[in-house]
Amino acid sequence: MSRMCINNLFIKRQIHGNVEIIQNCKEIRNRNPRNLERLRIARKPKGYALDKCGESYWHKLTVKSSQRYCTAEIYHFENGPVISASSQEWGIKKQLYSTNDTTAFKFVGQVLAQRCLESGISEIYVDKSIITGNKIQLLVNELSENGIYLQEPEEYKHPKPTYRYRPEKPWETFE
């Protein structure tokens, strides 16, 4: 083919925007189940009146340590464990001298933070009562150093018309 024919084909195949598709769209279906949590619209489970206060979360950190291994998991309030990292995993165990020392907790924290960011979880709830020792504190510090926020944002509540204070809507961005 000559160069002129290639240029004519290129002119015919121009890149079009999505404006036509959006205008003709009648229904939008979001298939991401965590989208409402990211927008802060989803409800956090409050529990019953006699339950512990402050136990409302979407994702919570749990740490289990035994004589041999340490395991850290991110629990979703409905689905249970979503992400986990353990010094029992072959890839992690291969890099460690001991699977239950401070280096192991630090390394498990790095791996868990990386897996959280890859799956789209950037904020988790950390209960202060699980931080019982130096090792768990190292794991939590490693999570925060690697880009995980240790507090979840507050749930958005639609204000009543008589309220003076109107919080910013999480789905609107002002640049």
Q: Could you tell me which residue, 25 or 143, shows the higher pLDDT?
A: 143
- Mean local confidence (pLDDT), 52-79: 87
Closest CA to 80 of 103, 107, 50, 60: 60
> What DSSP assignment string belongs to 116-175?
HHHHT--B-B--GGG--SHHHHHHHHHHHHTT-BSSPPPPP-PPPTT-S--PPPTT----
Query: Which stretch, 7-16, 23-32, 51-60, 120-129, has highest mean pLDDT?
Result: 120-129
**CA atoms of 66 and 89, how far apart (whole Å):** 14
**pLDDT cut 90: percent of the chain above it:** 36
Domain annotation covers residue 138: yes
84 φ, ψ to 5°?
-145, 155
Domain annotation covers residue 13: no
Strand partners, 135: none
Closest CA to 134 of 106, 98, 95: 106
CATH number of the domain within which 102 lies: 3.30.420.80
Domain annotation covers residue 89: yes
pLDDT band at 52 (very low <50, low <70, confident <90, very high): low
Q: Tell me how far apart the terminal alpha carbons of the chain are, to the nearest angstrom.
A: 48
Looking only at the bridges linking them, the beta strands covering 59-65 and 80-86 are unpaired
**Is the pTM for the entire model greater than 0.85?**
no
Domain annotation covers residue 139: yes
> One-letter amino acid identity for 8?
N
15: pLDDT strictly greater than 60: no
Domain annotation covers residue 125: yes
What are the Cα distances from residue 173, in Å, to 1, 3, 39, 116, 167? 49, 46, 12, 24, 13
**pLDDT cut 70: percent of the chain above it:** 84
Domain annotation covers residue 81: yes
What domain range includes position 70? 59-146
pLDDT of residue 42: 82
Indicate the range of 8-17, 51-60, 130-139, 160-169 predicted with least confidence.
8-17
The residue whose two tokens read 């979407």 is 58
> What DSSP assignment string belongs to 20-73?
HHHHH--------TTHHHHTT-SPPP---TTSPTT---SEEEEEEE-SS-EEEE
Domain annotation covers residue 129: yes
Domain annotation covers residue 104: yes
Question: How many distinct structural domains can be found in the chain?
Answer: 1
140: pLDDT strictly greater than 90: yes
pLDDT band at 36 (very low <50, low <70, confident <90, very high): confident
pLDDT band at 155 (very low <50, low <70, confident <90, very high): confident
